[in-house]
Amino acid sequence: MPAQVPLPLGPDEVVWQADSQLADGKAWRFLRGRVEIRKEQMVLRADEIDYNEQTGETVARGNVHFSHASGQEDVYAARLHYNLRSEDGTFYQVHGTVQSAGQAGPGVLTTQEPFYFQGEVVHKVGDRYIIHDGWFTNCQRPNPWWTLHAPRATIVPGKHATLRRSVFRLKKVPLFYAPVFYKSLERTPRSSGFLTPNIGNSSRRGRVLGQSFFWAVNRSLDATLGATYFSQRGWAHQITGRGRPTRGSYFDAFWFAMNDRGIGEGEDRRKQGGRTLSLDGRAELPRGFRGVAAVNYLSSLEFRSAFTETFNEAISSEVHSAGYLTGAFSSFFFNAALIRHENFQSTERDDTIVVRKLPSLELNSRGHLLARGAAPVWFTLDSSFDLIGRRQRGFRTRQLAERADFFPRLSSRLSWKDFHLVPTFGLHETYYGEQQRSDGTVSGQNLRRAAGEFSVELAPPALARIFDGPGWLAGRLKHVIEPRVSYRQVWGVPDFSRVIRFDERDLLNNTREAEFSLIQRLYGRRGEGETRELASLELWQRRYFDPDFGGALKPGARNVFLSTAGLTPFAFADTLRRYSPLVSILRLQPRGNYTIEWRNDYDPLRGKLVNSGVSADAAFQHFNLSLGHYAVRSAPLLTPHSNQLRATVRYGSLNKRGWNAGFNTVYDYRVGIMQYAGTQVTYNTDCCGFSGEWRRFATRNENQFRLALTIANVGSFGTLKKQERMF
């Protein structure tokens, strides 16, 4: 019968068992039949084991199985020479697995399979395995999709694997050769090294060849430096940096530059190169202060339109940069900021509107209770001091002109039963270091604006009714109606045209207006489950008792006032108006996995819907659908007409095995062209994925074809970048 005898070796204890044993009378024991030796977390099993108690030398033969209790290593061999004291040894005719920690993240295909390896001879030195003439995979055997062959490889379980002169084979077909291949086995790997090359083709850029280097500077800072060569356009350079200096701070930076040879021939050749920079960061500072930075720079809109890889960025004509320092004390909060906004009017050079605030200082207050009782009084403050400037073609202020704005308010709340009346009185005191003349030029003469503002809001009680609903929707339904009425009057604003427009503070206008709003909500409840909103309809409109807004309105021109901008994002004041458009938002969500929203502006002056936006989203298991239709039919003087359909259809997900496909498009009905289209097809096996993508930018008449091979828990190879994938 098997015997189990503990054999102490100094501080370490060795425990073994076997069907039978022999001893030479000195140090050797010859264990036969289902032999097992344990030392700490190591387990060695074999048909035969010769063990020396004094030296720790061990020779194992027949069905050798060497494993670690943590599961990080599991090795099988025909024969093993091993020393239990030094933990060094040699395996012959080896196969086994080493566990790789999960490294799931955006765009990373994952698998639960460990890394499998085979080799003729394996040397174990301490905690590392040196494998000769071996191959590796994390696919299911016996017919793996991919293998990585190398004459020499080093594995440190739980840390990393390094292969030299390795060849990657896909179904036994050699595809890649790497002088050195490094793979981290840690949960959060960080190691410097070259990334996989970027190889592809573009109809407007030619052959594409790129290479990047990842530099792990330290545990809280890294950078990626890369260059890409376009055979028809020239060289591009990019740098990405990330940092987490402290627990409460971070920054992310991206720089891209294109040295363009140009497009076209001879005198018609047009260079479209440029530079772009983005930097985002935040830091928690002493005494409750916080610093936030969002810096963006773009050399030209033509550069962005020609070389960006996303449609939304290609059509974006604005660049915003801001750095904030903010802190709060009691009911007050302080902001100090450096701000720069640039709006590109066209792809021509220097055709931009630039607004700078260097700096902008704000001292504001939330509602601060001054008096209690039946008619409580709150004090609110909104104030700022800016050194500000604006520049555009044919118009330029001083580099830094002064603007100071002080807006204190007193408000109260009167209640009777469920009726609530909220009156507010405030004073606008604004000082400008410059003003605008009637001919559109800038005058250095100061301008003072002293205006009063009074508003009152009436909130009647909400009306509600509960009734039984259809079973397919909800067992119980609740219909709620919430009406609101408000009146606002502003007086004392001087000639509106004399104020230079920098931001919304400068849009204050004389007005007498009332706003009416009505919100209807439908709630549903299934059994004893939670109650959620199934549908809502919001309606609001303003009545203007001063149709020319105190003389500020210019008929036949595009006018934007604070009275109009706060109602809808679309301008509508080009003539005398007594009513604003009727704005409505309809939201439907009968189930949690699909929603519909329709927003539109109906203009009674024009007798039609002038702006409309419909979006619908649905998700069913692996199927996702998103549709959107947006139309602008107002006067071209106010907003250019548009009529676009956006659609995204996807079946699958990043880690779904089998076929996955997706398609997205932007179609312009007005001009009858598909401005953008992209489709991606992916097939995922148990350990790798094959992806192909086609994209077309009609705005620059370019077709792009991208391919990628993704290895689970390793990364992707090819031109389809993970941040640009559908899945």
Q: Predicted confidence band at 703 (pLDDT cuts at 50, 70, 90)?
A: confident
pLDDT, tens digit, 9 for 90 and up, residues 666-676:
999 988 899 99
CA angle, 227 as apex, 271 and 196 as ends, to 5°?
A: 140
Domains parsed from the chain with CATH numbers: 3-184 (2.60.450.10), 191-324 (no CATH), 652-727 (no CATH)
pLDDT (average), residues 407-431: 95
**Residue 149 is encoded by which pair of tokens?**
């062959």
Q: Write the pLDDT tens digit of every residue in 70-114.
A: 667 889 999 999 998 888 999 999 999 887 655 545 557 888 888
Q: Per-residue confidence at 8, pLDDT binned at 50, 70, 90?
A: very low
List Cβ<8 Å contacts ≥24 apart for 164-169. none
* Amino acid found at 461: P
Digit-coded pLDDT (tens) for 553-588: 999 999 999 999 989 989 999 999 999 999 999 999
59 DSSP β-pair partners: 50, 81
Q: What is the pLDDT of residue 352?
A: 93
Report long-range pairs for 26-31 (Cβ below 8 Å, ≥24 apart): 27/52, 27/53, 27/54, 27/55, 28/52, 28/53, 29/53
What is the reported pLDDT for 2? 41
* DSSP at 113: P
> Among 726, 703, 718, 714, which Cα is nearest to 137's?
714
| In the predicted structure, residue 624 carries a pLDDT above the cut 70 | yes
204: pLDDT strictly greater than 80: no
What's at 361, amino acid-wise? L
Contact partners, residue 267, CB within 8 Å, separation at least 6: none
Question: What tens digit of pLDDT does each residue of 511-539 get?
Answer: 999 999 999 999 998 877 788 899 999 99
Asked if pLDDT for residue 246 goes beyond 50, the answer is yes
378 or 108, which is more confident: 378
pLDDT at 127 over 90: no
Residues of the chain with pLDDT > 70, as a percent, come to 96
* 289, amino acid identity: F
Residue 423 CA to its chain's centroid (Å) = 42
On the question of pLDDT at 1 being above 70, the answer is: no
Strands (E), 99-145: 115-125, 128-137
User: What does the mean pLDDT of the chain come to?
Assistant: 89
Of 92-96, 307-311, 396-400, 650-654, least confident by mean pLDDT is: 307-311
User: Is the per-residue pLDDT at 6 higher than 60?
Assistant: no
Averaged pLDDT for residues 272-276? 92
Work out the pLDDT band at 12, boundaries 50, 70, 90: low
By the 10 Å C-beta count (0-12 exposed, 13-18 middle, 19+ buried), 636 is classed as exposed
Greatest alpha-carbon pair distance for the chain in Å reads 116
Task: Please tell me the distance from the alpha carbon of residue 313 to that of residue 411, in angstroms, as a whole number.
Answer: 43
Task: Find the mean pLDDT for residues 699-708.
Answer: 82
Residues in the chain: 727
172 pLDDT higher than 80: yes
For residue 418, give every residue at least 6 positions away whose Cβ sits within 8 Å of its Cβ, in sequence order, or none: 460, 461, 462
Q: Are 58 and 81 in contact (CB under 8 A)?
A: yes
pLDDT at 306: 85
Asked whether the beta carbons of 432 and 447 are under 8 A apart, the reply is yes
| Burial bucket for residue 265 (CB in 10 Å: 0-12, 13-18, 19+) | exposed
Q: What is the pLDDT of residue 445?
A: 92
Q: CA-CA distance, 219 to 246, in Å (whole number)?
A: 11
Classified as helix, coil or strand, 540 is strand
- The answer, yes or no, to whether residue 3 has pLDDT greater than 50, is no
DSSP state of 562: H
Which of 82-91, 98-107, 469-478, 621-630 shows the lowest mean pLDDT across its residues? 98-107
Nearest to 480 by CA among 501, 461, 499: 461
In the prediction, which pLDDT does 106 show?
Answer: 53
**Cα(138)–Cα(181) distance, integer angstroms:** 16
